[in-house]
Amino acid sequence: MMIRINPSGPPPYVQISDQLTAMIQSGALPRGSRLPAIRHLANDLGVAINTVGRAYKALEAAGLVSAAGRRGTVVEPTVHAVSPDETALTDSAERLALEARHRGLSVDNAISQLRAAFGRLDLEGT
């Protein structure tokens, strides 16, 4: 398994998650296969353990893997295809959440801003 981190790219956890998602969806990581241990992959990539853990949590939330206790993290046998549009929207939502948090906005305020943006789009007819 080859994962590469681009220092000038998106956050490392996004890069790890995106690359593993692509491997799972392409069949390069077949159903039932184990992902590397978090500590091992973090060491190989030169990133913090929490970075890999966050990527694995994102994969688990997407239903692509499951944490199997002592057996590690395993590619789900019932993997559902995630469309590129869904992946792009998830990435955009992550960026919005990070930006809102960086600016000190609450979740409710960020959601209000998103609703306002949809309202402006509706007024413009798009």
Per-residue pLDDT of 63-79, as tens digits, reads: 899 987 788 999 987 54
39 and 66 both lie in a single domain: yes
110 and 71 both lie in a single domain: no
DSSP three-state, residue 43: helix
pLDDT of residue 86: 74
85: left (phi over 0), alpha (psi -120 to 50) or beta: alpha
DSSP three-state, residue 74: strand
Percent of the chain with pLDDT strictly greater than 90: 48
Q: What domain range includes position 114? A: 84-124
The reply to whether 6 falls in a domain is no
pLDDT of residue 92: 85
**pLDDT (average), residues 76-101:** 76
Domain count, the chain: 2
Gyration radius (Cα) of the chain, Å: 17
pLDDT of residue 82: 61
